[in-house]
């Protein structure tokens, strides 16, 4: 409201009315946020903001669907924001959620770092933040309520252990890495390296990011085949989509993926099972994206002021060609 230099009685009374209303509003809002148990008012629809990385992979698409389906099932008003792979856009989305006064925020963080400031703003606004899928590095872990994610280091180790068995501990490996700075890329690299360190005959001869995307995975594999085509004997991809891109590149180079060059990847999306049935992919380590139910359980617990573990680790399984055909019909994503 624009106030004149010398306010009349009329202006002052309307100013007072605005002040009372907004205080009441603020009081009501903070009451909503801090009401005993924090439970939303009976009949009040819960509003939750979800900041998603992008739609870069089958895994990501499945995760978004799980969150949206679960919100619909619970009658929750979901504000969905796709950041097109840019952390800056995730900051913008979270600021918008705060301005809208959402009851909670679910965040799938693109990268591990840079979250202190924006999460302090959410904490200031008394809006609980639930992390799904990827972890972050912050000095104060009270800035988020809980993290629901797989153990990416373990996934990398499982991939390395499987490849060691498949190649009897002798392999010249091309590694297709996920997005730079993303927890799964950092930790899957770490776990795989730890596993193959036990096998002197296993060596990573080249490693480059394909950003978790099929197209980039293909491009990177094409380039690395030009440089290392004569030496490479196996491929490790941080996700199935990059492995599918690599399969295309290997075929274009006149070699048989899964036969001349065994491939192990991570996610266990349906397309990976189809590739294993076709003999073009050898093994995929599951990384379950169906996080919607757990995410909203955490939101509802946080709203009621119930304590939550700092991290809930999703259990993952290993699938190879021997089980691909029988498992394919059971795949939910």
Q: Which residues bind ligand GZL (CB under 6 A)?
A: 56-57, 59-60, 133-134, 149-150, 184, 212, 239, 241, 266-267, 287
Q: Which is nearer to ligand GZL, 122 or 285 (CB)?
A: 285
CB of 156 to ligand GZL, least distance (A): 11
CB of 268 to ligand GZL, least distance (A): 10
Asked if residue 304 lies in contact with residue 298, where contact means CB atoms within 8 angstroms, the answer is: no
CB of 239 to ligand GZL, least distance (A): 4
CB of 149 to ligand GZL, least distance (A): 6
Q: Give Cα 267 to chain centroid, integer Å.
A: 12
CB of 212 to ligand GZL, least distance (A): 3
Asked if residue 50 lies in contact with residue 103, where contact means CB atoms within 8 angstroms, the answer is: no
Q: Which is nearer to ligand GZL, 157 or 303 (CB)?
A: 157
CB of 108 to ligand GZL, least distance (A): 7
Q: Which is nearer to ligand GZL, 205 or 318 (CB)?
A: 318
Instruction: Say how far apart CA 124 and CA 116 lie, in whole Å.
Output: 12
Asked if residue 218 lies in contact with residue 225, where contact means CB atoms within 8 angstroms, the answer is: no
Kindly state the helix (H) or strand (E) to which residue 174 belongs, with its residue range.
strand 171-177
Exposure string over 152-191, b if 16+ CB within 10 A, otherwise e? bbbbbbbbbbbbbebbeeebbbbbbbbbeebbbbbbbbeb
Report residue 52: phi and psi, to 5°.
Answer: -100, 150
Q: Give Cα 183 to chain centroid, integer Å.
A: 9
CB of 58 to ligand GZL, least distance (A): 7
Give me the helices (H) in the chain, please: 9-34, 58-73, 87-100, 116-124, 152-166, 183-196, 214-228, 240-252, 270-277, 292-303, 321-327
Instruction: Say how far apart CA 265 and CA 288 lie, in whole Å.
Output: 14
Exposure string over 4-36, b if 16+ CB within 10 A, otherwise e? eeeeeeeeeeeeeeeeeeeeeeeeeeeebbeee
Q: Which is nearer to ligand GZL, 62 or 102 (CB)?
A: 62
CB of 127 to ligand GZL, least distance (A): 23
Q: Which is nearer to ligand GZL, 138 or 205 (CB)?
A: 138
Q: Which is nearer to ligand GZL, 56 or 112 (CB)?
A: 56
Q: Which is nearer to ligand GZL, 87 or 239 (CB)?
A: 239
Q: Which is nearer to ligand GZL, 54 or 167 (CB)?
A: 54
Q: Is the dihedral of CA 259, 261, 262, 264 positive or negative?
A: negative
């Amino acid at each position: 409201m624009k106030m004149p230099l010398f306010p009349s009685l009329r202006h002052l009374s309307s100013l007072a009315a605005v002040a009372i209303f907004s205080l009441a509003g603020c009081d009501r809002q903070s009451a909503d946020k801090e009401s005993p148990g924090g439970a939303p008012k009976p009949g009040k629809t819960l509003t939750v903001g979800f900041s998603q990385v992008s739609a870069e992979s089958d895994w990501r698409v499945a995760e978004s669907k799980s969150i949206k389906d679960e919100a619909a099932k619970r009658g929750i008003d979901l504000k969905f924001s796709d950041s097109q792979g840019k952390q800056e856009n995730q900051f913008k989305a979270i600021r918008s959620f705060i301005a809208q006064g959402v009851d909670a925020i679910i965040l799938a963080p693109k990268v591990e770092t840079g979250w202190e400031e924006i999460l302090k703003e959410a904490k200031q606004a008394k809006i609980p933040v639930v992390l799904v899928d990827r972890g972050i590095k912050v000095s104060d872990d009270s800035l988020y309520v809980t993290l629901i994610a797989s153990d990416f280091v373990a996934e990398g180790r499982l991939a390395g252990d499987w490849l060691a068995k498949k190649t009897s501990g002798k392999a010249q490996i091309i590694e297709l890495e996920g997005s730079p700075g993303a927890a799964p890329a950092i930790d899957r690299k770490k776990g795989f390296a730890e596993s193959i360190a036990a096998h002197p005959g296993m060596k990573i001869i080249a490693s480059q990011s394909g950003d978790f995307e099929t197209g980039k995975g293909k491009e990177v594999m094409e380039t690395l085949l030009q440089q290392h085509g004569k030496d490479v004997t196996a491929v490790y991809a941080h996700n199935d989509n990059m492995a599918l891109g690599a399969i295309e590149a290997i075929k274009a180079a006149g070699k048989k993926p899964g036969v001349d060059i065994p491939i192990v990847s991570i996610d266990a999306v349906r397309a990976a099972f189809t590739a294993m049935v076709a003999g073009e992919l050898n093994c995929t380590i599951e990384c379950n994206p169906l996080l919607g139910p757990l995410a909203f359980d955490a939101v509802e617990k946080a709203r009621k002021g119930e304590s939550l573990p700092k991290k809930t680790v999703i259990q993952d399984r290993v699938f190879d060609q021997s089980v691909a055909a029988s498992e394919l019909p059971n795949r939910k994503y």
